[in-house]
């Protein structure tokens, strides 16, 4: 792999962090709608924290840090102590440790036939700061969604969005390693947006909710144009989650929910609106085409920048204060 920047953990592209809403607008449903108990999202948090501890144990800074100036940070933690801040300002492991344990690296995915890195990278984090920001965001977004839609649908959106983010990241960023759950988190944000749009007719205060959600998404994506942040993972995760929301998060219309309370001769409304079916079909087609095209291009060794000479600005915009890498 080519050069490695310092930040993401020390030499990786950091799937940046941001501020996320905890829920969408209020909606009209009857009291019989099932409220799920959230257990999958807390398990994701536990898994991410446990994985970070394992990474730090393997990293073993006191024994392995021989190349950077300065000693390990928080030496009282023993082999769990952090790399020097000159290598990793996020209080975490070295780039080489993350690479060894499954960070997303284009060369290893394409030429080393290690496609599993497309998934393993979303369970790794660059440092304590990176981990805390992502896990807080996951709790605020994920628990509410899981309570409303159940662990299966939220779990599918989370994992497939993480995969979608990794694929797009690999197509455009081929000179750095990449870690973080932000692609999956942006997928949940995208699903919240499409859920609001596809279930538009059953919501109250929907215009305010839509504006708030769009502003929050825009701010978080804008943060991704800073150096050392893997915004392609954010964009790929967001687009995947946005399409999955149309497929998995449909709600029945209010009139259909109340059909059992209507007189026998009353006309029952259809379960879903026509536009919901249109969104569903279009999203399924786009998901199949997008994943197929992305994976084919990736494993053929294609560089997305060869097909889009301006796309690199989506992940970093150079200014007088900083320059963007390759």
Catalytic machinery residues: 182, 234
Return d(Cα 61, Cα 232) in angstroms, integer.
30
Match 């969104």 to its residue by tokens.
279
CA gap 232, 175 in Å, rounded:
14
Count of beta carbons in the 10 Å neighbourhood of residue 275: 12
Angle, helix 40-59 to helix 128-149, in steps of 10 degrees:
160
Assigned token pair, 21: 């809403």
- Phi, psi for 229 (deg, rounded to 5): -115, 130
**What CA dihedral angle connects 142, 191, 197 and 169, to 10 degrees?**
140
What are phi and psi for residue 196, nearest 5 degrees? -65, -40
CA angle 129, 100, 295 (to 5 degrees): 90
Q: How far apart are CA 121 and CA 128, in angstroms?
A: 16
Contacts of 132 (CB under 8 A, 6+ apart): none
What gap in Å lies between CA 291 and CA 283, rounded to an integer?
12
Asked if 40 contacts 154 with a C-beta cutoff of 8 angstroms, the reply is yes
Tokens 């394992």 correspond to what residue? 54
């Amino acid at each position: 792999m080519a050069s490695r920047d310092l930040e993401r953990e020390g030499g990786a592209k950091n799937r940046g962090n941001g501020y996320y809403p905890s829920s969408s607008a209020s909606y009209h449903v009857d009291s019989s709608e099932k409220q799920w108990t959230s257990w999958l999202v807390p398990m994701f948090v536990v898994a991410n924290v446990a994985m970070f501890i394992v990474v730090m144990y393997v990293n073993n800074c006191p024994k392995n840090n021989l190349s950077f100036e300065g000693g390990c940070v928080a030496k009282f933690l023993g082999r769990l102590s952090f790399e020097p801040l000159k290598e990793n300002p996020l209080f975490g492991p070295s780039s080489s440790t993350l690479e060894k344990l499954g960070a997303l690296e284009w060369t290893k995915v394409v030429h080393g036939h290690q496609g599993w890195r497309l998934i393993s990278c979303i369970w790794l984090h660059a440092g304590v700061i990176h981990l805390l920001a992502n896990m807080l965001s996951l709790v605020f977004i994920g628990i509410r969604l899981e309570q409303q839609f159940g662990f299966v649908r939220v779990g599918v959106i989370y994992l497939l969005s993480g995969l979608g983010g990794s694929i797009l990241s690999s197509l455009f960023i081929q000179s750095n390693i990449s870690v973080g759950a932000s692609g999956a988190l942006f997928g949940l944000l995208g699903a919240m947006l499409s859920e609001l749009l596809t279930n538009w007719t059953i919501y109250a205060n929907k215009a305010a909710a839509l504006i708030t959600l769009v502003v929050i998404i825009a701010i978080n994506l804008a943060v991704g144009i800073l150096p050392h942040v893997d915004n392609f993972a954010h964009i790929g995760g967001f687009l995947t989650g946005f399409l999955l929301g149309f497929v998995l998060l449909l709600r029945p219309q209010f009139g259909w929910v109340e059909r059992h309370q209507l007189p026998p001769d009353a006309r029952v409304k259809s379960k879903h609106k026509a536009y919901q079916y249109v969104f569903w079909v279009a999203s399924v087609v786009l998901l199949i085409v997008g994943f197929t095209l992305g994976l084919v291009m990736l494993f053929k060794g294609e560089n997305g920048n060869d097909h889009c000479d301006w796309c690199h600005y989506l992940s970093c915009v150079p200014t007088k204060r900083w320059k963007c890498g390759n």
